[in-house]
């Protein structure tokens, strides 16, 4: 089974692209969804012990947590030290199930794939990309997003150019959904 690491900076269309892989029949692991589940489950006592203000009604409130860690590198490192091992355990269970299913390929949708060294544990990397003005417009259209918050998030991510240079495949989402879907289908054909 081939393991595709799917990544891309904020606002590039990675979630939509991951859905295209799902619709084509590929098992897809969503790291962000795993974190959401953990913030309502196994990570709650660990995160709440370090960030008690983020605990709301027995769950970790992502907005409150984000405000606590976004501009504090030490706090972000502490959070990642708590959450990354738990996410890794979920990912290992996913990979085992995908392998047992006989799938010829699976996709690991990991926003910070390069930033966390995750590219070393996949067979190939596909980067989802779009032009910077389109990325900015997509992100700033999100509820609660500000230009300052967008810039802070970008500062934590490797540049799109760096990701593109280090990818095996680049999926350009700037040309519309059909264009992106054709690229996903071509990648699947190339891998299988």
Residue 172 is predicted with a pLDDT of 96
The fold adopted by the segment(s) 2-115+127-187 is: Rossmann fold (3.40.50)
pLDDT in tens, 64-88: 999 999 889 899 999 999 999 999 9
pLDDT in tens, 119-139: 999 999 999 999 999 999 999
| Tokens 């989402």 found at | 173
Q: What is the mean pLDDT of residues 24-33?
A: 95
Q: Could you give the CA distance from residue 48 to residue 98 in angstroms, rounded to a whole number?
A: 32
Torsional class of 56: left (φ above 0), alpha (ψ -120 to 50), beta (otherwise): beta
* pLDDT grade for 156, boundaries at 50, 70 and 90: confident
> Cβ(108)–Cβ(91) under 8 Å?
yes
Domain extent listing, the chain: 2-115+127-187
Residues in Cβ contact with 48 at an 8 Å cutoff, skipping those fewer than 6 apart: 54, 55, 60
Q: Could you give the CA distance from residue 35 to residue 109 in angstroms, rounded to a whole number?
A: 12
Residues in Cβ contact with 89 at an 8 Å cutoff, skipping those fewer than 6 apart: none
Residue 6 is predicted with a pLDDT of 98
100-113 exposure pattern, b = at least 16 Cβ within 10 A, e = fewer: eeebebbbbbbbbb
Model pTM score: 0.88
- DSSP string covering 29-41, please? EEHHHHHHHHTTT
* pLDDT grade for 153, boundaries at 50, 70 and 90: confident
List Cα–Cα distances, 162 to 65, 122, 169, in angstroms.
28, 18, 13
Q: Could you give the CA distance from residue 189 to residue 51 in angstroms, rounded to a whole number?
A: 45
């Amino acid at each position: 089974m081939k393991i595709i690491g799917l990544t891309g900076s904020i606002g590039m269309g990675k979630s939509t692209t991951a859905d295209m892989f799902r619709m084509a029949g590929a098992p897809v692991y969503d790291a962000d969804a795993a974190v959401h589940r953990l913030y309502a489950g196994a990570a709650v006592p660990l995160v709440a012990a370090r960030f008690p203000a983020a605990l709301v009604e027995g769950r970790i409130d992502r907005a409150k947590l984000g405000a606590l860690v976004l501009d504090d590198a030490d706090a972000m490192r502490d959070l990642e030290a708590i959450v990354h091992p738990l996410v890794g355990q979920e990912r290992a269970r996913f990979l085992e199930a995908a392998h047992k299913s006989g799938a010829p390929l699976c996709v690991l949708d990991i926003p910070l794939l390069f930033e966390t060294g995750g590219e070393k544990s996949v067979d190939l990397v596909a980067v989802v990309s779009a032009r910077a003005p389109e990325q900015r417009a997509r992100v700033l259209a999100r509820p609660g997003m500000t230009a300052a918050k967008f810039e802070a998030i970008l500062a934590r991510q490797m540049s799109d150019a760096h990701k593109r240079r280090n990818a095996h495949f680049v999926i350009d989402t700037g040309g519309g959904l059909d264009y992106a879907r054709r690229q996903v289908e071509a990648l699947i054909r190339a891998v299988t």
